[in-house]
Amino acid sequence: MDSEKVTSEIGKKIRDLRKQNGLTQQELADRAELTKGFISQLERGQVSPSVVTLMDLIEILGTTPSDFFMDTVSEQIVFREKDYFEKIDEAGNSIEWVVPSAQSNQMEPVLVTLKPHEALPVDEPHNGEEFGYVLNGRILLYREDVRFEVKSGESFYYEADKPHRIENPGNRPARFIWVSTPPSF
């Protein structure tokens, strides 16, 4: 990262912290024994503070050097097809992780395409709950020995404390969103 970019990033962080603390530029300048003009130039990335001045500002703004310099990764909210991760089994069934990092979240949504007359392996009992919504086709959901038919436009929801599995009895592919909590795929 070049020095101009570093100076600009430091200025933005100082401005954001100043605003979070409800301080004006003049109030921050007074507390740091600096001029309002210097604070203004610093926030706009026009000047670089000395290490001592920067440490004083960080302390005045109620943070630590490690927190101040920590890279903040912006949280991804929207996921597009290019973000998806797909696994295709030997029968041609597809599971797409539509939120690729979901295994570190509390729930894990996947998009499943199940070929005609194919079934997913039995899912052994585990803690958590599962939800699904059938987009196309129909599926048979087995929870222990009880069978449920779920058609396009219908959903299912159950506790995952019993063996369960899904199959496609139809002559065309079935597509459904399947959400598990905690993540188990």
| Lowest pLDDT segment from 78-82, 120-124, 144-148 | 78-82
Q: Which residue has the higher pLDDT, 166 or 66?
A: 166
In the predicted model, is pLDDT for residue 143 greater than 90? yes
Cβ neighbours of residue 145 under 8 Å, at least 6 residues apart? Answer: none
DSSP H helical ranges for the chain: 3-20, 25-32, 36-43, 51-60, 65-69
Q: Locate CATH 1.10.260.40 in the chain.
A: 3-69
Q: What CATH architecture is 81-181?
A: Sandwich (2.60)
For position 77, what pLDDT does the model report? 80
Parts of the chain belonging to CATH 2.60.120.10: 81-181
List C-alpha distances in Å: 157 to 99, 115, 131, 180, 181.
20, 22, 4, 10, 11
**What burial letters (b/e) apply to 171-182, b meaning 16+ CB within 10 Å?**
eebbbbbbbbbe
Instruction: Identify which of 153, 130, 151, 129 has the alpha carbon closest to the alpha carbon of residue 140.
Output: 151
Which of residues 6 and 155 earns the better pLDDT score? 155
Q: What's the mean pLDDT when you consider all of the chain? A: 90
Query: 37-54: per-residue pLDDT in tens?
Result: 999 999 998 999 999 999
Q: Quick check: 143 and 162 in contact, CB under 8 A?
A: yes
Token pair belonging to 114: 């199940």
The residues that bridge with 113 in the sheet, in sequence order, are: 94, 175
Give the global pTM: 0.60
Please state, in angstroms and rounded to a whole number, the distance separating the CA atoms of residues 14 and 183.
39
The answer to whether domain 3-69 has CATH 3.10.20.600 is: no
Q: Is the pLDDT of residue 121 over 70?
A: yes
Average pLDDT over residues 93-117: 88
Confidence of residue 157 (pLDDT cuts 50, 70, 90): very high
